[in-house]
Amino acid sequence: MLRRSAVRVPRLARADLTTGTTNPADPLDTAAGGTALISGAAGQLSASFAQHLVTRHGVRDLLLLGQPGEDPGVDGATAAAWTELGVRVSTATCDPADPRALTALLRGLPADRPLRAVVHTAAHPDGTDRTPGQAEETGAGAAGGATVAGSAPGRIGAALHAEALRIRALREATDALAEPPVLVLLSAAAGAEGPGDAVDAAAGALLDSWARERRSAGAPAVALRVTPEATGPQVYDGLWDAGEAALLVAEPDVEALGARAASGALPALWRGLVRVPARRTVQRAGDGQGATFKQRLVALDGPGRERLLLELVLDHAATALGHGSAGVIDADRKFRELGFDSLSALALRNSLNDVTALRMPPGVVFDHPTSAELAAHLAHRLLGR
């Protein structure tokens, strides 16, 4: 992200969690003496966390909440298993963006089973709880998996507005209670291992912000972004031990990430956890000869200039991606297809500015999306042709 003209890139850090056991200080343990509200209960994320509450925290009263026209119940096998454990399951439907409806629902809970926990899952524009991996199945250009660049005008804003209304309604309904419930906010992790759904990413950021706000006010809250491979109730064990308001829940393939790091294709988010091999610097033709780049360029004929400029772009592009040779870069292939993201594109722009003494804008790499086009742009800027 850009903040005050500074480029900031998030990095993952390994959380110190207790694995396989329930921490006695876990706030969710208090839910065993009351009711847990599961909002978006028809979705996979919500259902998985409900199972976690039942099996890990001894919750025996669940209120499954769905939207009008939606069946918030669970499948027969799960219902039978819960019944054996003595779990009482109630279902209800109401508009999740209507604070009055939510408040009335919570006030109707039995006095001996007050609300102790709320599990809220970010909904998608189609009105459903987002299932991890759905974007990958539908494709980046599909309605369910569009990146920012591929999103229809207004799509992200409309989804954020709808999610903000649901958060406001839930906030008003729970603020009216004598004791604040434990708040767990779920969303599908977007962009953790490559381009992801822009709506998922935006909704996740919104929930992260709310969880931090609740934590700062002294209320127990955590926002969890869940990756597709993180399945089963056990993945949520020990999440409060990290002491963080926002966490990514993942079970990554470490070997696969290591291979991507070796090839220079590791997503920036993982570079704090996966060791990235030291990049070899590509030997650039003409470097260190004393003359300025423009002087060397002017001294060449037309074909020589074109060749030098293209070699310059290819060499620096290879370095920005961590390759040892410019030969792996196709001059006519788009930078995004080669694996460039905003950070590596900025690195390429900066290194080209250093060599040419130009002051090209941050978006120049994607404005001229292939090495050949960028080389032609450099010719125009340097030679006026």
> 328-355 pLDDT, tens per residue?
788 999 998 888 888 888 889 988 988 8
For tokens 């491979």, name the residue: 229
* Helix runs in the chain, H state only: 44-57, 76-84, 99-107, 134-138, 155-175, 198-216, 254-262, 293-298, 302-321, 335-338, 342-356, 364-367, 371-383
First to last CA, the chain: 34
Is pLDDT of 181 > 90?
A: yes
Alpha-carbon distance values, 350 to 7, 290, 344, 354, 364 (Å): 12, 21, 10, 6, 10
The confidence band for 118, taking pLDDT boundaries of 50, 70 and 90, is very high
Is pLDDT of 307 > 80?
A: yes
Strand partners for 144: none
Q: Which token pair is 120?
A: 């809220």
Q: Quick one: 110 exposed, middle or buried, by C-beta within 10 A (0-12, 13-18, 19+)?
A: exposed
For tokens 């903000």, name the residue: 164
Q: Which of 210, 219, 220, 208 is nearest to 246 (CA)?
A: 208
The confidence band for 373, taking pLDDT boundaries of 50, 70 and 90, is very high
User: What does DSSP say about strands 35-39 and 61-66: parallel, antiparallel, or unpaired?
Assistant: parallel
Per-residue confidence (pLDDT) for residue 79, from 0 to 100:
86
User: What does DSSP say about strands 115-121 and 182-188: parallel, antiparallel, or unpaired?
Assistant: parallel
Length of the chain: 385
- Enter the pTM of the model: 0.67
Is pLDDT of 123 > 90?
A: no
| 105 Cβ contact list (under 8 Å, min separation 6) | 63, 65, 92, 94, 173
Q: Which token pair is 347?
A: 């690195």
**Percentage of the chain modeled with pLDDT above 70:** 77
Is pLDDT of 239 > 50?
A: yes
Report the alpha-carbon distance of residue 303 to residue 11 in Å, rounded.
44
| Average confidence (pLDDT) over 148-160 | 76
Report the alpha-carbon distance of residue 171 to residue 95 in Å, rounded.
14
Report the alpha-carbon distance of residue 346 to residue 328 in Å, rounded.
20
